Chains A and B, each alone.
Chain A
Amino acid sequence: MGDTRETAVVKDDVALVAEAKAGSYEAFEELVNRYENKIYRLGVNITGSPEDAEDVLQEAFLKAFQHLAEFRADSRFYTWLVRIAVNESLMKLRKKRSDRSVPLEDEIGEDGEPIPRELADWKPNPEQIYAQAEIENVLRDAAQKLPATYRTVFLLRDVEDLSTAETASVLSLTEGTVKARLFRARLMLREELSKVFKRG
């Protein structure tokens, strides 16, 4: 470190991880800055609770730092971090499971097509009609109606932009199962949101 610092070059994750591994807290903090928003959003949407999401956020970054030596560069740092955050989130849910009605694992049938029932057009641009907090509540509640692994597949694939293979690896599922659950999760969320955002 030292005199090789280029002017205004944004360091990639690989360089920051290497520096953090060598003991630079500043490098690690840069990684935190980079991903804290995404990890928080993921935590909120898996656990359904901003309070739990804050715990997930702290625990995930603490563990990431403590286990940094075990991180191998054969995967993306972000995917590795997401894996830790997903595990923390699911652990939160398991602890609360007794007072939850929604199954954590898949207890809905995998076979049979999901049949769309809400078939009315949506109001255009709900994000402009509803207050931000209102939309956040609708999205959070809808996600909570799904089994945790379904909404997590959706969040990893569609929101965090992980590949099917990465998602499969994080959740210890086959790629086929990830694809099937993504399909169902999208339609289930669509169904829930339709109840609120449909016209009329």
Chain B
Amino acid sequence: MSDCRDCLHEISDYLDGQLDPELKRVLEEHLVSCHRCKVVLDSTRKTIELYCDGKLFQLPGGVRERLHTALRQKLQDRQR
């Protein structure tokens, strides 16, 4: 895998831990010597991390309150 295109193509599977060991070894070898591919890998990993960050996009208290009030009004009475 001397080619950055090949490397790029495997980055997604690599992040998912789905590369077979031989391909993984070749990819990691390429990453050591190719800064551009390393940047793409690291920043892709960080991209996923940021979207998964539990501190972001938290449910605002007011929204939660309105949700539970609405559900209770519409559902609970019907059930009783």
Contact = CB atoms under 8 A, between A and B. Distances in A.
Contacts, number: 112
Interface residues of A, number: 46
Most buried by A among B12, B51, B53: B51
A193 B71 contact: no
29 contacts: A23-B79, A25-B72, A25-B75, A28-B71, A29-B68, A40-B57, A57-B59, A58-B66, A61-B67, A61-B71, A113-B5, A116-B8, A119-B39, A121-B42, A122-B42, A122-B43, A122-B46, A126-B46, A127-B53, A127-B55, A139-B56, A158-B52, A159-B48, A186-B12, A187-B40, A190-B40, A193-B43, A193-B46, A197-B46
Interface of A: 23-25, 28-29, 32, 36-37, 40-41, 44-45, 50, 54, 57-58, 61-62, 65, 113, 116, 118-122, 126-127, 132, 135-136, 139, 154-155, 158-159, 179, 182-183, 186-187, 189-190, 193-194, 197
Given A61-B67, A61-B71, A155-B51, 7 more contacts: A25-B72, A29-B68, A29-B71, A45-B51, A121-B42, A126-B46, A193-B50
Interface of B: 5, 8-9, 12, 15, 36, 39-40, 42-44, 46-48, 50-53, 55-60, 63-64, 66-68, 70-72, 74-76, 79
